[in-house]
Amino acid sequence: MTTIDVAAFYTEEFLSRPTEEIALQNSIRQSISTANSIFVNSGVSAQYRLVYMGPLTGVQPSAGTIVTENGVQYEKREEAALRWFNLQSQEANELRNAAGADMAVLFLPFPASPVRPFACGVANRIKRDGTNALDGLPFNTRAFSVQRFNCGLGDFTFAHELGHNFGMFHSTAEIQESGEDPPLFPWAAGAAYPAPSMPGGRAATVMSYDLCPRGAAGVEAVCGRTPYFSGPSVIVNGYPTGDAMHDNARVAREQTPVFANFRATAPGAVPQVRITSPTRHASVPNVVTLTGAAIDAENGNLSTRIRWYTESGAYLGTGASITATLQPGTGRRIVARATDNNGQEGQWSVPVTVQWPPPQANFTWSCSSSTLRCTFNAGSSTGQPVLGVFWTFPAGTSSSVGPSPTVTFPRAGVYPVTLRVRDPLGRESTITKSVTVGNVNITPQTGAWYNPARSGNGIDLFRTADGQYTVAWYTYTSSGAPVWYSSGLATLSNGVWSAPLYFSTWNGSSASSSVAGWLSMSFQSATSATFSYTVNGISGSEPFTYLAGGAGRSGSWYEPSLSGWGLQLQEQSGFYGATVTFYEGSQPRWVLGSTAPGSAVSMNLSWMSGPGLCPGCTYVGPPSSRNAGTLSLQIPTGGTSGLATMNITTPSGARWSRPWVNMVKLTQ
């Protein structure tokens, strides 16, 4: 018994019609069974075996064209789909080879009523030289047909179209019209034969068109066909179905062994791969989670082996679920592949539209020191084209417009420049950078700095003995609780200071720090600067102004025997302020107080609560305060060490107490 392996593909249209897809699969199985019965009935020792059945999820054949003949509408799609199938999309070719399919069929959906298919099927036909009559290429690469679902099932469309692949014709006249001289099989004609029980007393064989009415492609059987090939040895109710020149049974007997060797028999089933997320034609962000499943008849669950690719073949990752970054745009496709232990690979793809991420403003610039002119460029901004570009330059400057303006500044200095970009969806992004123009030599005033428009949080700016600067930043959590950060040490370069930002926690006996972001200050003068930050993924900038301090005992102080907490002191004529940076449980907190300067002083400490003052939050007003305890200091004028004692109680009841401990000054 000769076995011919068949792959049955269908278009992705069936995936949106689950009931129809199930009906199609059942119809394919029934058509295989019926075609095998025709072999038996016709004395052909061969059988078809369905080795793969599933959709082509990648590139699709084009839609059909509606034509009208004799008042009836038809969809012409079959021949164009066959030409497309002959080009062998990568997916179809790979799946056919993985399944070891000798022949392949592509199913199209039946058109919506009242439109009828132009034909129930079309097929390639092998010539005497072993090539395809349609394109002249080797037929082992072209054993294809295209068929309509639910079209002419009673007329044996499946067996009929695969018969054309073998070289069978409808009639002797059609053989002559083919132009082959001599033809591969001069006897490869269908026939009608006597059948007294049939209407008109005649019946048609599988390949015959003798009894078909014109323009009758549809669901119903109309050709009076019976499940037999033509042939003098095929006897039905005492009548032969053909003669020496009408013997398609002979064609089948001679061709089936040839076709059975078009592909080597596969060692097992092809893995069934499915993408469960995203769904087909979904609109997804450019960073998306891809999830799939792969099941193999021999090796079981292969989901962890799924390899993910873009439509261009770019590798994205491996696993049942991965997170991938995709190129924005329409017409994108995600491909999942899984290979079993036999080396057989299944695949599935989904078309998607990948959304553009929100725009991100960014710009570069170059300046001439001699002319105080700078050219800016927004080309490093990202987002969906075309981005609208909007610049804000300081007062007193003169500039051109557009994405690359040239700006003249009135004098040397460090200036804030803001770029705002807007994408076609109306989404915006803004960034402010400090631009140094000319040669800038600024020595900033150390002490307390703040933003007058957001009073309630601020920084202490300190300088070390070797000329580096560091910052203690007092701000708030999103719930309004005070929280502090500290910066690393960095030098000032051409009016700009930048350093990493650290977040400290307490384990009950010692502190540990981790990088939380960065800080920078771009000084326009000794007492004004642009304060910029990135903390926990949130970025922003504010105009800061010097407030107080920087003289006398001003500086950052610590306890050598218990480092991790500290006192930040600011002193000037008539003012002596302290900020205690400590811990409430494991979390960093701060309280503050002030008094008149002196070598031995005491002050009340206040706990500040500042909703709307956290980084990136919308300002709603100054913080509220409540009593948190007391602080006493004994530090001589000009001293670099002294004593401190404090008792702090937070609103939660947590306590921080230090009984007259030694404190040492770290900074100026």
Full set of structural domains in the chain with CATH: 2-259 (3.40.390.10), 272-354 (2.60.40.10), 364-437 (2.60.40.10), 447-665 (no CATH)
Report the mean per-residue pLDDT for the chain. 94
For the sheet with 307-310, list strands across it: 282-284, 345-354, 329-339, 307-310, 315-318
pLDDT score of 325: 95
pLDDT at 401 over 80: no
Q: Write down the pLDDT at residue 395.
A: 82
* C-beta separation of 296 from 317 below 8 A: no
Are 367 and 494 within 8 A, CB to CB?
no
Query: In this predicted structure, what is the pLDDT of residue 215?
Result: 61
Per-residue confidence (pLDDT) for residue 211, from 0 to 100: 87
Residue-level pLDDT at 438? 82
**Average pLDDT for residues 625-650, to the nearest whole number?**
96
Cis geometry, peptide bond prior to residue 213 (ω within 30 degrees of 0): no
Residues above pLDDT 90, as percent of the chain: 87
pLDDT at 358: 93
Q: Residue 123: is it exposed, middle or buried by C-beta count within 10 angstroms (0-12/13-18/19+)?
A: buried
Mean pLDDT of all residues in 473-498: 94
pLDDT, residue 632, reads 98
Tell me the average pLDDT across 610-626.
Answer: 92
Residue-level pLDDT at 216: 61
Tens-place pLDDT, residues 15-69: 999 999 999 999 999 999 999 999 999 999 999 999 999 999 999 999 999 999 9
- Kindly state the average pLDDT of the residues 626-646: 96
Q: Do strands 321-325 and 287-296 pair parallel, antiparallel, or not at all (unpaired)?
A: antiparallel
Neighbours of 627 (CB within 10 A): 12
User: Does 219 score more than 90 pLDDT?
Assistant: no
Please give the average per-residue pLDDT across 608-626, as a whole number.
93
**Order of strands across the sheet that contains 398-399:** 364-368, 373-377, 406-408, 398-399
With b meaning 16 or more CB within 10 Å and e meaning fewer, what string describes 503-526? Answer: bbebeeeeeeeeebbbbbbbbbee
> Residue 179: its pLDDT value, please?
87
List, in order, residues 6 or more apart from 300 with CB less than 8 Å away. Answer: none
What's the token pair of residue 545?
Answer: 């102004």
- The mean per-residue pLDDT over the stretch 499-514 comes to 95
Beta bridge pairs of residue 609: 624
CA separation for the pair 532, 526 (Å, rounded): 17
Chain mean position to CA 366: 36
Question: Cβ(385)–Cβ(426) under 8 Å?
Answer: no
pLDDT band at 494 (very low <50, low <70, confident <90, very high): confident
Where in 355-412 does DSSP place strands (E)? 364-368, 373-377, 388-392, 398-399, 406-408
- The backbone region for 621, taken as left when phi is positive above 0, alpha when psi lies in -120 to 50, beta otherwise, is left
Task: Tell the burial category of 253 from Cβ atoms under 10 Å away from its Cβ (0-12, 13-18, 19+).
Answer: buried
Q: What residues have CB less than 8 Å from 517, skipping those under 6 apart?
A: 500, 501, 533, 534, 535, 536, 537
Residue 516 · residue 485 · CB < 8 Å: yes
The CA distances from residue 598 to 376, 466, 637, 645, 666, in Å, are 52, 28, 7, 16, 20
Q: What is the DSSP letter of 360?
A: B
What pLDDT score does 73 carry? 94
Tokens of 196: 């007294």
Q: Report pLDDT for 394.
A: 87
CA–CA distance, 520 with 538 (Å, rounded to integer): 14
Q: Residue 181: what pLDDT?
A: 82
Distance CA 134, CA 137 (A): 8
Q: What's the CA gap between 184 and 190, in Å, rounded?
A: 15
**Predicted pLDDT of residue 390:** 94
| Ramachandran region, residue 413 (left: φ > 0; alpha: ψ -120 to 50; beta: rest) | left
Between residues 71 and 262, the one the model is more confident about: 262
Give residue-wise pLDDT tens across range 405-435.
999 988 888 888 999 999 999 999 999 998 8
* pLDDT the model gives residue 276: 98
Query: What pLDDT sits at residue 440?
Result: 75
